[in-house]
Amino acid sequence: MGRKRTWDDARYEKLRGLWTSGASADEMADALGSSRGAIYQRAKKLGLPARNQRRGRPAGPRRVGKPDGARVSLDPWHPALAAGRTIHGRTVTPAARAKRLLKSGKWSSKIGDVAMKGKWKGFPLLTLTLEERATCPRTCLEWDTCYGNNLGHTTIERIFDDGFLELILHAEIARKAAQHPDGFAVRLHVLGDFYSVRYVEFWREMMREFDALHVFGFTARQPGDDIGRAVLEMMEEFDDRAMMRVSGAAFPQLCSEVVDSIDQARFIVCPAQRKADHDCARCGLCWTSDHSISFLRH
């Protein structure tokens, strides 16, 4: 049995710092080698502000107003920003442990299961979710306000590469190509981003191998860096099958921006956000048009 760690002044001070930074109970327990219950007991002893113990609701993230509700904005000193990770660590899943990596868009109210408009009409829509910040460039304009901050429920699986990601994805893509030879589309990515040139090349190889595969989505990787250039090259090779937009860029084509109100939009405002009965499946703008798109912050 390991030696029990004592609560000395340094350990209490570390708890105080984590508590005021907005770290979750699980994050503090991991960092301090303790249990959630002990964390709350010691916090009470220090006289730290109360929080919801049952849910471990963090004190640091702030709810900031937006058109359709609230988003979570992390304070600059939040440990998730420095470490480059999600604040919902319990939803991070190794690829080999996930039941499936490519999930039907029907499980997302914003995606939908089958494209009903555009040149990909009739294609099943699938999604892949990685871990936000861990796979994203720190230059992303939504680094502290990523909408993944809002997505902490256990139905969300943030997949990370445990060495089996590409192997499993290849098998799932092959199966979908056999099931849907006329075409299917994958949203890259619900959360997360292209994290290496090798990972981009994997998708390029899949596009070459499977004519039925189509991809769409957004990347904060800029054309000026190695990963961004690799994404651009994939789009140029498969200009009718790869519709990726560069997040935060201001060009009139194949870019996207996030705004707080319609008045701030420089491009076409996402129709799926403006119409209550619409989702990606009923819109199709992202895979039909090259025009840049403005999204209301969510």
Average per-residue pLDDT for the chain: 85
Provide mean pLDDT across the span 105-131.
92
| Nearest C-alpha neighbor of 86 from the set 36, 23, 41 | 23
Both tokens of 213, joined, read 């595969």
Q: Domain spans of the chain?
A: 9-46, 81-241
Residues 6 or more apart in contact with residue 44 via CB below 8 angstroms: none
Spatial distance between the Cα atoms of 140 and 71, rounded to a whole number of angstroms: 17
Contact (Cβ atoms closer than 8 angstroms) between residue 246 and residue 256:
yes
Please, how many CA atoms are within 13 Å of residue 182, restricted to the half-sphere of its CB? 9
Please, how many CA atoms are within 13 Å of residue 132, restricted to the half-sphere of its CB? 23
| Highest mean pLDDT (candidates 44-48, 97-101, 262-266) | 97-101
Instruction: Indicate the pLDDT class of residue 54, thresholds 50, 70 and 90.
Output: very low
Model pLDDT for residues 176-222, shown as the tens digit of each residue: 999 999 999 999 999 999 999 999 999 999 999 999 999 999 999 99
